[in-house]
Amino acid sequence: MIKKFSNFMFMTFKKASLNRILQIDFVRNVNLTGKILEFGTNLNSSKRFSLFSKIQEPNELFFADKSFSENLIDKHHSYEDLEKKLSYNDSKFNNVLVFNVLEHVYDFNNSINEIFRILNIGGKIVGAVPFFYRIHNAPNDYFRITSQALEKKLTETGFKNVTVKELGFGPFTACYALLFDYFKYIPLFNNLFLIITIGCDKFLQIFVKSRLGNQYPISICFIGEKN
């Protein structure tokens, strides 16, 4: 618990959003092996989530995005649009990572269907979407997807052992997440503000039966298996 709190404070000091901090904490417990495809990033990025997961041998990393320039296209980097049919063959990958990507895809249904198609049997989709987070165009920001919508879509597509997890603490921390872009430039105050809001949510939770983090999620993470 102390180590986790220290990581939270360090990453907050480094101007990481709470959305990203919670997602990294989630992916640290995910085991990956085989051929791994991650959308929305590249091999040289320090922000790619495959960097924080438990990757085991043998493995091979691939990356895809529709904003890749021609000089980045190679064996491991592909120009792909999740609103269209992907160029990959059926059952090509063991794992597909989609962190902070699906909210930018207008044809959300097609993206999940295509990811299911390119996964092999036993393969996993692992990802997350922000919920209480500002509009962030890349180039467009279409959705805030609920956990119920994610679970239903993944299940209807054919994924089994679906896990959807809402990450957050409550309404005070949700306010922090919305104000983060302005407070992150004030050294240490950002850390203090986060501690205060988490403390307020913990205190409020004493008087509320339902989990506040489920009602005010900062981020929603998910895993599904293709069986």
Show Cβ contacts of residue 207 under 8 Å, excluding neighbours closer than 6 positions: none
Structural domains in the chain (count): 1
Residue 71 has pLDDT above 80, yes or no: no
> What is the strand order of the sheet 77-79 is part of?
77-79, 54-65, 31-39, 93-99, 119-130, 219-226, 159-167
167 bridge partner residues = 219
CA 129 and chain centroid, separation: 5
Q: What average pLDDT does the segment 2-16 reach?
A: 90
98: CATH: 3.40.50.150
119: part of which helix (H) or strand (E)?
strand 119-130
Q: Read off the pLDDT of residues 178-212 as tens digits, 9 standing for 90 and up.
A: 999 999 998 899 999 999 999 999 999 999 999 99
pTM value is 0.94
Categorize the per-residue pLDDT at 170 as very low, low, confident or very high, splitting at 50, 70 and 90.
very high
Q: Which residues of 127-142 are buried (b: 16+ CB within 10 A; e: fewer)?
A: bbbbbbbeeeeeeeee
Q: Which domain holds residue 180?
A: 2-226
